[in-house]
Amino acid sequence: MSLAGAGTLFRQSGKRIKRARKNVKLPQNAAPIGRNRASDKFFYAVGKDNGNFLMKKICRALTLLILSLSMILTVFPSTAVAAESVFEPRLSAPSRSNAYYNKQLNYYSQTGYGMPNCVAYAYGRIYEITGEEPLIKRGSASEWWSINKKNGYYNYGQEPQIGAIACWSNHVAIVEKIDGNTVTASQSHWGGNYFDTTTFKSGTNRFGQKFYGYIYACEKINEEVEQEKAEEEARIEAEEKAAEDAKRSHTAVPAQQPEYIVPETSSAPSVSANLTGEEPKIVLNSIVLKKTIEKQNANLHLFNLINFEKGISHGAMCLFYIFITLYNAA
């Protein structure tokens, strides 16, 4: 049924309802539903139970329709829902009531060297990311690189990783984001800012201090982040490929066009002999005929587009038919 047919169906239904409202007389003991006498007649005509019958049918039909669509979406899920990220970069200051940064869990705060302090912040941030107490729990910023290297607490290197401790000669910060060779880190400053972030080129000296490298205190989290990133890239690639395949399947493939040669003279049309094994070339002495064939090909392409649009319309009409069928069945 086309959209025009659906409109006709609705108009006919409206006319039947109007006739019912004119012909129905309310009984003497019928309880009024509203202020409008005509609406009372309507509900009494279609429901005979103060309109409850009609509302029950509509509710049943809608319920069945929703259940049907839920079953379809369950069997044929459209897209996968991305899982919650395993790492959330900290780009704003932690609350002073946050246990990782105060005396409740932070070793440096417990010993009187809490924030603002770069090592107190780094200790709390590593604790927050991993959920485990950091292995480095003593020394100043200038000592963290050598303490870790001497005791073998964590792996270390010159490549940035998510959650790694960036170490300078007298400062430490935590890597929050990586974009190529550009690193964004969170930090605190002894006697200065309670919290801020900094963006720098990896491996560069800063604050007048020499860059030592990165301590990989969150390697497990970094591996999960890399795996999540790879899965996200694979998902996006699969979606793009599926969209490209769908687009290709709905695009009309143009038919192979013969090569037309319009002779300079007004000689009679002929077909060149296929002496070399090549496809014969159609020789036309009429430009009008050539344009007519090209117009037919254009019309064929337009016909394919119209059929595609009709397919979308038919899908919408199918949902309408399902609702009408369920309504009548209810």
- pLDDT of 267-308, one tens digit each? 544 444 444 445 555 544 456 556 666 766 666 666 665 666
Dist. CA 86–CA 107, nearest whole Å: 25
Structure token pair of residue 322: 């399902």
Are the CB atoms for 165 and 64 separated by under 8 Å?
Answer: no
Return the beta strands (E) in 169-314 as ranges.
171-179, 182-187, 196-201, 211-216, 260-261, 282-283
Are the CB atoms for 187 and 196 separated by under 8 Å?
Answer: yes
pLDDT at position 123, please?
Answer: 97
The residue ranking higher by pLDDT, 147 or 249, is 147
What is the pLDDT confidence band of residue 86, given thresholds at 50, 70 and 90?
A: confident
Give the whole-number percent of the chain exceeding pLDDT 70: 54
Beta partners for residue 175, in sequence order: 185
CA dist 265 → 48, 261, 269, 288 (Å):
86, 12, 10, 16
Annotate 141-207 with three-state secondary structure.
HHHHHHHHHHHCCCEEECCCCCCCEEEECCEEEEEEEEECCEEEEEECCCCCCCCEEEEEECCCCEC
State the CB neighbour count (10 A cutoff) for residue 308. Answer: 12
Structure token pair of residue 87: 């790492």
Structure token pair of residue 143: 């000592």
What is the pLDDT confidence band of residue 1, given thresholds at 50, 70 and 90?
A: low
Check: pTM over 0.85? Answer yes or no: no
Dist. CA 263–CA 286, nearest whole Å: 9
Mean pLDDT, rounded, of the chain: 75
Are the CB atoms for 121 and 176 separated by under 8 Å?
Answer: no
The residue ranking higher by pLDDT, 295 or 152, is 152
Dist. CA 186–CA 92, nearest whole Å: 8
